[in-house]
Structure 1
Amino acid sequence: MDSPTYEHAPFGPPDEPPTPLRTRPPADPVAAALGNASLFGIGYLLLGHWWLAVFAVVGTVWLLNVAASTADTWAEILLVAWWVAGMAHGWSLAHGRTEHVVRRGQRVGTLAVALAVLLTAVLLRVDAHGIEDRVNEARERGDCEAAVAAQDEVGFGQRLAGATVVEPGKAVVEACKQLERAASRLAAGRSGSVEDLERGFGILAGVLREPGNEQTVKTVLDAFLDGLPTQDSCNTADITEWLRDREPTRDVLDRSADTATRTEPAALVGCGDDLMAEDDWQEARTRYQLLLDEYPDDTRTEVARGGVRKATLAIELEKVRGLVGDTYDATSGYCETPAKYSGAPAYRKGFNRALFLGDTEYTGRLPGDWRTGDPTKASLVVCADTAENGAAVETCQYENDKSPYFPYSVTFYKVKVPLKVYELRTGKRLDPREVQISGGSCPSVLRYEYYGIDLGPGNEFVSTAKSDVRDAFWPVVKR
């Protein structure tokens, strides 16, 4: 072998041999692109770019979080763009190498990982669509329970792969929660609470403003309406009155008006009857009258008219009894403010029983069958005032047994009793306005009392017997 020869420069030592250039190992562009298709930067790892692999993983995690939390289409588009950009960048980096090789093992492995990721994403998204289909079907049936149960199947994976798909289901669940609150309010409203009814219908109206909730709202409303009538007729009447007076909204909630029309008449009659049993006649009459005003063609109108009459009589009787109880003279109570009782016996020809009020000095001597303390048995109310001097009957002279020089002249008068006579059935005042009772006069001996001073007797009433009182009052009770 020949010895190497060297050339020498004219001056100085010989040149050192050149350092060979370091070159990157050959790469497979396809494997790099498929590796990045996994979204975990595997392609960068194959190319030896560790920091790019870390960046790829961080970026993927961030984008998945954004897509899952925002559930917006733009986030999903950005994630797809990131996926495509990662593959393109991996291909570009590998293709920029001076030497390319085909690494079948890398291609198979990266393809398997990419397909697994892609298949998982597809399956999760398909499952998300299936869940939302079941949610929508349940909502269309008005079945909130099934809709909520279906939405509960959404897991972390479905959220990552199909946030935009499962996001509407959250609104359905929230609407169902609102409807549950509405159902609770309406259930409380069955006790006749108008406030609870207003709140319940307000919630239903709010849910109904969101498209697609008609059937679920209808289910809650139907459950409430199907519970009518309640066991308490007055509660039912309060509910149906509110439903009838509710301002129409031209939506499914207006169905309540039909239920009110169907249920209210019977509730009003039942409530009136219950109130009559409790002696609440004023409110009972209001309920009966409401039926006559709102449903004049209903088959229960005759019952309601009878109820109005009965309640009216009870109200009148209660008032009369109160006035009679407050009467202590001819200027108080009933005698001052007469009132009618339409159920009183008619003031007819012949004898009529009466309530005798006021001063009873003389009326108390009338026969027992003329008098009554029960307004339901009296045709008349006779108010007697304090007796006064009536017509003069006779004047007699009397000697004073203690002083024969001072005889006395005494005039005897009929007993005049001022009267206010009322027909109880109408409360109208009748004649006579007074009666004068006859009796005996000028007794042989006239006894009187004095206190230390002998002033002599004054004018005197005639002495009356029961027959005299009866004769005087007979024209009052006889028509």
Structure 2
Amino acid sequence: MDSPAYAHGPSVPPDEPPQPPSPPGSDRPCDPVAAALGNASLLGIGYMLLGHWRPAVFTVIGTGWLLNVTVSTADTWAEVLLLVWWAAGTAHGWSLAHGRAEHVVRRGQRAGTLVLAVAVLLTAVLLRVDAYGIENRVTEAREGGDCEAAVAAQGEVGLGHRLAGAPVVEPGEAVVEACRRLERAAATLTDAARDGSTEDLERGFRVLAGVLEEPGNEQTVRTVLDTFLGGLPTEDSCATADIAGWLRDRKPSRDVLDRSATAATRTEPAALAGCGDHLMSEDAWQQARARYQHLLDTYPDDSRADEARGGVRKATLALELHKVRGLVTDAYDAESGYCDSPAKYSGAPPYRKGSNRALFLGDPEYTGQLPGGWRTDDPAKAALVVCADTAENGSAVETCHYENDKSEYLPYEVTFHKVKVPLKVYELRTGKRLDPRSVQIGGTSCPRTLYYEYYGSYDYGPGDEFVSTSKSGVRDAFRPVVER
């Protein structure tokens, strides 16, 4: 009787080849919910639970790339693409796990992946909500014209806000950039206010106009402009006048920048008057007169018009006197300086009846003998300018005979003449020439002894001679010049 055969293992048909081993984890019991929740974290955790490491790594890389695109572009389409990526990963995790032969409920995995997914999503939601709050504060600050508050609010934006809401926080960056430009414009306008540079003023307004072209910046531009205009007038009246003149002449742009015209009208008249006064104190009479005249031409009805007219007159007189002083200084004889190119000084004392003080130029031989009450060295105190030329023979007075034993040409016949002094007499107030054109000074003639000098070997005698004058004679001759 044959012994029974006992099976020692599963029977395998001798003609059927053995099956290859299954991939690791392919038949591992899994929890679809845990896999879906794991992938919902955007970190590929679901793939890791399923044992699919390559998709897990690909998911992490893809998530990082999409987040980078979202931050760099700050466009909604990038966020939509990230949302699709999240939904696809979640669904794919569920699908892979659900396709397994065996399903199990792994409460620990569900709890862990749920906490992780909720943490990721809740963090994203909270950051996005905070981003909206930040941008609301930025917008409110900009609408209130407070660039400092807007920049401070935008400064709260961190990397998390950009990852969770790049399109939300991106407009705030434009606000910050506009505020930085406005800050530079404010600094430029401050420089303009300090030194009256119209180039800086034009540059600052150009920046303001550029920022104003971007929607929503009207109030911040207004704040910068009002701060600048509120600082007018500055301590430097001439700088204020230059600024106000530029603002007044600026072409209207029909926007908030046109407010500057009102500031110009408010500050320019006083600035022009003050600048004129300052320039007068600096002896810059030409520039001072131009400022006063500009005030009269531009604001004829201003309360400072009379003051400006007085300033024009003072500046004109100062310019005339300065010119006269220069001409007097240049007069070294009767044919130079003032004597050659007379000029008027409207502030000179009038040429009137009685004695008039005169400024004597030219040859001082005889004019130097005149009384001090007739003469002055200050052009501002002279009514007349008298240019005395070199004396020449005047009317013959007497002819006398002289003998000299040492000369073979004796006797001499000598004619004595009055001293004729050619003159140019000008009324300083008008610069017009007056009479007389000359004076003749009388004196004594034919002295008992006549002294003369001769040179060389030949003595031809003294020739014609002047009479001997006296101070009283000189004074009598010049009296018709200074008295009217």
Task: State TM-score, norm by structure 2.
Answer: 0.90
Could you tell me which amino acid in structure 1 is paired with residue 459 of structure 2? D
Q: Aligned equivalents of 2:399 and 2:13: distance in 1?
A: 187
Contact 1:192 1:238 in 2 (8 A): no
The answer for the alignment partner of 2:321 in structure 1 is: 317
Give 1:369 deviation, angstroms: 1.3
Contact 1:339 1:426 in 2 (8 A): yes
Which of 35, 38, 61 in structure 2 is aligned with 1:35? Answer: 38
Deviations 1:348-387 (A, max 9, x none): 2333221111011111222221111122221111101111
Give 1:395 deviation, angstroms: 2.4
Could you tell me which amino acid in structure 2 is paired with residue 234 of structure 1? C
Contact 1:419 1:432 in 2 (8 A): yes
Could you tell me which amino acid in structure 1 is paired with residue 81 of structure 2? L
Secondary structure (helix, strand or coil) at the match of 1:198 reads helix
The answer for the alignment partner of 1:202 in structure 2 is: 206
The answer for the alignment partner of 1:9 in structure 2 is: none
The answer for the alignment partner of 1:10 in structure 2 is: none
* 1:478 has 2:477 as partner: no
* 1:293 has 2:297 as partner: yes
Q: Aligned equivalents of 1:15 and 1:445: distance in 2?
A: 181
Give 1:268 deviation, angstroms: 1.6
Secondary structure (helix, strand or coil) at the match of 1:58 reads helix
Contact 2:409 2:460 in 1 (8 A): no
The answer for the alignment partner of 1:145 in structure 2 is: 148
* 1:244 has 2:248 as partner: yes
Contact 2:289 2:311 in 1 (8 A): yes
The answer for the alignment partner of 1:422 in structure 2 is: 426
Residues 246-285 of structure 1 mapped to structure 2, 5 A cutoff: 246-285=250-289
Which of 179, 182, 185 in structure 2 is aligned with 1:179? Answer: 182
Secondary structure (helix, strand or coil) at the match of 1:154 reads coil
* 1:302 has 2:301 as partner: no
Contact 1:179 1:220 in 2 (8 A): yes
Could you tell me which amino acid in structure 1 is paired with residue 152 of structure 2? A
The answer for the alignment partner of 1:359 in structure 2 is: 363
Moved more, 256-265 or 161-170: 256-265
Which of 230, 238, 254 in structure 1 is aligned with 2:234? Answer: 230
Residues 188-199 of structure 1 mapped to structure 2, 5 A cutoff: 188-194=191-197, 195-199=199-203
Deviations 1:108-148 (A, max 9, x none): 54344323322221111011000000011111111111111
Which of 126, 149, 155 in structure 1 is aligned with 2:158? Answer: 155
Give 1:473 deviation, angstroms: 1.9
Residues 329-408 of structure 1 mapped to structure 2, 5 A cutoff: 329-402=333-406, 406-408=410-412
Give 1:59 deviation, angstroms: 1.0
Q: Percent identity?
A: 75
Could you tell me which amino acid in structure 2 is paired with residue 265 of structure 1? P
* 1:218 has 2:217 as partner: no
* 1:79 has 2:82 as partner: yes
Q: Aligned equivalents of 2:478 and 2:175: distance in 1?
A: 86
Give 1:30 deviation, angstroms: 3.9
Secondary structure (helix, strand or coil) at the match of 2:386 reads strand
Q: Aligned equivalents of 2:150 and 2:4: distance in 1?
A: 92
Q: Aligned equivalents of 1:459 and 1:14: distance in 2?
A: 173
Residues 163-174 of structure 1 mapped to structure 2, 5 A cutoff: 163-174=166-177
Contact 2:402 2:410 in 1 (8 A): no
Moved more, 91-100 or 290-299: 91-100
Distance of aligned partners of 1:42 and 1:402 in 2 relative to their CA distance in 1, 3 Å threshold? closer
- Give the number of equivalent residue pairs: 472
The answer for the alignment partner of 2:436 in structure 1 is: 432
Q: Aligned equivalents of 1:445 and 1:404: distance in 2?
A: 18
Contact 2:196 2:238 in 1 (8 A): no
Deviations 1:437-459 (A, max 9, x none): 22333333322222353211101
Give 1:5 deviation, angstroms: 12
Return 5+ residue gaps in structure 2 as ranges: none
The answer for the alignment partner of 1:448 in structure 2 is: 452
Contact 1:39 1:83 in 2 (8 A): yes
The answer for the alignment partner of 2:136 in structure 1 is: 133
Secondary structure (helix, strand or coil) at the match of 1:391 reads strand
Could you tell me which amino acid in structure 2 is paired with residue 323 of structure 1? L
Distance of aligned partners of 1:414 and 1:405 in 2 relative to their CA distance in 1, 3 Å threshold? closer
Which of 112, 125, 146 in structure 2 is aligned with 1:122? Answer: 125
Give 1:328 deviation, angstroms: 1.1
The answer for the alignment partner of 1:66 in structure 2 is: 69
Which of 17, 23, 27 in structure 2 is aligned with 1:24? Answer: 27
Q: Aligned equivalents of 1:371 and 1:53: distance in 2?
A: 114
Distance of aligned partners of 1:14 and 1:397 in 2 relative to their CA distance in 1, 3 Å threshold? closer
Return 5+ residue gaps in structure 1 as ranges: 7-12
Task: State TM-score, norm by structure 1.
Answer: 0.91
Give 1:346 deviation, angstroms: 0.8
Could you tell me which amino acid in structure 1 is paired with residue 243 of structure 2? I
Secondary structure (helix, strand or coil) at the match of 2:334 reads coil
Give 1:208 deviation, angstroms: 2.3
The answer for the alignment partner of 2:14 in structure 1 is: 15
Moved more, 84-93 or 245-254: 245-254
Could you tell me which amino acid in structure 2 is paired with residue 457 of structure 1? P
Q: Aligned equivalents of 1:68 and 1:331: distance in 2?
A: 89
Give 1:3 deviation, angstroms: 6.1
Could you tell me which amino acid in structure 1 is paired with residue 447 of structure 2? P
Secondary structure (helix, strand or coil) at the match of 2:394 reads strand
